[in-house]
Amino acid sequence: MTFLSLKFLGSLDIALDHAPVVGLRSAKVEALLAYLAVEQKRPLRRDALVALLWPDEPLDTARTNLRQSLTRLQKGIDNQNANPPFLLISRETVQFNAQSQYALDVTQFQKLLAACPTHGDTPERQCAICVKNLQTAVSLYNGDFLAHFFISDSPVFEQWVLPIRERLHQQALQALQWLANYHENRGEYVQALTYAQHQTRLEPWREEPYQQQMRLLARQGNRSAALVCYETCRRTLENELGVAPTAETTQLYHRIQTAPAHRPHNLPDLPNSFLGREEETAQLLSHLAQPQRRLVTLLGAGGMGKTSLVLHAGKRIAHEYVGPFANGLYYVPLAGINGPTQMVVAIANALGMVLRGSQDPLQQVINQLQQQEMLLILDNLEQLGPAGSEVVTALLEGTTAVKLLITSRERLNLRGEWILTVGGLSYPATNISDSGWLRQHVDSGQYQAMQLFIDRARQNQPGRQIGQSWEDELAIVRICQLCEGLPLALELAATWAGMLSCGQIATELSKGLELLQTNYYDVEPRHRSLQVVFEHSWELLSAQEKRVLAQLSVFQGGFDHDAGTAVADASLIVLRQLIDKSIVYQGKSGRFSLHELLRQFAAEKLAAWEETAVVQRRHAAYFADLVQQQESRWPTQENSQAVAIIRADIQNVRAGWYWT
Q: pLDDT tens digit string along 3-21?
A: 999 999 998 999 999 899 8
Which residues of the chain form CATH 1.10.10.10? 4-106
Largest Cα–Cα separation, the chain? 104
The per-residue pLDDT for 526 is: 63
Output the pLDDT for position 119.
Answer: 45
> Which residue type, as a one-letter code, is found at position 499?
M
Note whether 434 and 402 are within 8 A (CB).
Answer: no
The better pLDDT of the pair 193, 510 is held by: 193
Dihedral, CA of residue 439, residue 440, residue 446 and residue 450, to nearest 10: -30
CATH topology of domain 110-145+168-258: 1.25.40
Nearest to 490, CA basis, from 242, 284, 276: 276
- Judged against a pLDDT cut of 70, whether residue 441 lies above it is answered with no
Residue 659's pLDDT band (boundaries 50, 70, 90)?
A: confident
Question: How confident is the model over 49-61, as pLDDT tens digits?
Answer: 999 999 999 999 9
When the candidates are 3.40.50.1980, 3.40.50.720, 3.40.640.10, 1.10.10.10, the CATH number that belongs to 4-106 is 1.10.10.10
Lowest-pLDDT range, 266-280, 461-475, 565-579? 461-475
Residues 633, 637: Cα–Cα separation, whole Å: 8
For residue 552, what are the CA distances in angstroms to 420, 572, 615, 649? 25, 13, 9, 14
- Residue 242: the pLDDT is 93
Local structure of 265: helix, strand or coil? strand
| Strand (E) or helix (H) holding 405 | strand 402-408
- What distance in Å separates the CA atoms of residue 130 and residue 136, rounded to the nearest whole number? 10
List CB contacts of 586: < 8 A, sequence separation 6 or more: 575, 579, 592, 593
Asked whether the predicted pLDDT for residue 418 surpasses 60, the reply is yes
The dihedral formed by the CA atoms of 609, 615, 616 and 621, expressed in degrees to the nearest 10: 170
What pLDDT was estimated at residue 651? 92
Mean pLDDT calculated for residue range 184-196? 90
Q: Locate CATH 3.40.50.300 in the chain.
A: 278-421
Rounded CA separation 280/300 (Å): 12
pLDDT tens, residue by residue, 379-413: 999 989 899 999 999 999 999 999 999 999 999 99
DSSP string, 200-245: HHH-TT-HHHHHHHHHHHHHTT-HHHHHHHHHHHHHHHHHHHS-PP
Looking at CATH, the fold of the domain delimited by 541-659 is given as: Arc Repressor Mutant, subunit A (1.10.10)
What mean pLDDT is predicted for residues 304-319? 91
Average pLDDT, the chain: 89
Question: What pLDDT sits at residue 106?
Answer: 97
> In this structure, are residues 134 and 112 in contact, taking their beta carbons and an 8 Å threshold?
yes
Q: How confident is the model at residue 437 (pLDDT cuts 50, 70, 90)?
A: low
Percent residues over pLDDT 70 in the chain:
93
Whether pLDDT at 490 is above 50: yes
CA distance 404 to 288: 9
pLDDT by residue (tens digit) across 134-178? Answer: 999 999 999 999 998 989 889 999 999 999 999 999 999 999 999
Q: According to CATH, where is 1.25.40.10 located in the chain?
A: 110-145+168-258
CA distance 274 to 290: 25
In this prediction, residues 205-228 reach a mean pLDDT of 92
Q: What is the DSSP string of 329-362?
A: EEEEE-TT--SHHHHHHHHHHHHT----TTS-HH
Closest CA relative to residue 85, chosen from 1, 17, 25, 24: 1
Q: In a 10 Å sphere around its CB, with 0-12 CB exposed, 13-18 middle and 19+ buried, how is residue 552 labelled?
A: buried
Q: What are phi and psi of 5, to 5 degrees?
A: -110, 125
Contact 5, 102 (CB under 8 A): yes
Measured CA to CA, the distance from residue 124 to residue 454 in angstroms comes to 33
Q: What percent of the chain has pLDDT over 90?
A: 64
Place 552 in a pLDDT band, splitting at 50, 70 and 90. very high
To 10 degrees, what angle do helices 207-219 and 223-241 make?
170
Topology adopted by domain 278-421? Rossmann fold (3.40.50)
How far from the centroid of its chain's Cα atoms is residue 284's Cα? 10
**Is the pLDDT at 438 greater than 60, yes or no?**
no
Instruction: Specify the DSSP element, H or E, that contains 20.
Output: strand 19-20
Instruction: State yes or no: pLDDT of 523 exceeds 70.
Output: no
Residue 120 predicted with pLDDT over 80: no
H helices present in 495-560, as ranges:
502-509, 530-539, 543-552
Categorize the per-residue pLDDT at 1 as very low, low, confident or very high, splitting at 50, 70 and 90.
low
Residue 199 and residue 173: Cα distance in Å, rounded?
6
Residue 607 has pLDDT above 70, yes or no: yes
Q: Look at 262 and 485; give whichever has higher pLDDT.
A: 485
What is the C-alpha separation between 526 and 520, in angstroms, rounded?
12
Contact criterion met (CB below 8 Å) for 46 and 87? no
pLDDT category of residue 522 using cuts at 50, 70 and 90? low
Quickly list H helices, 242-277.
Answer: 247-258
Is a pLDDT exceeding 90 seen at residue 642?
A: no
Model pLDDT, residue 625: 92
The confidence score (pLDDT) of residue 432 equals: 60
Residue 471 has pLDDT above 90, yes or no: no
Q: Tens of pLDDT along 313-371? A: 998 888 776 667 888 999 999 988 889 999 999 999 999 999 987 889 999 999 999 98
Reported as a single tens digit per residue, the pLDDT across 25-49 is 789 999 999 999 999 999 999 999 9
333 bridge partner residues: 379
Do you know the residue count of the chain? 660
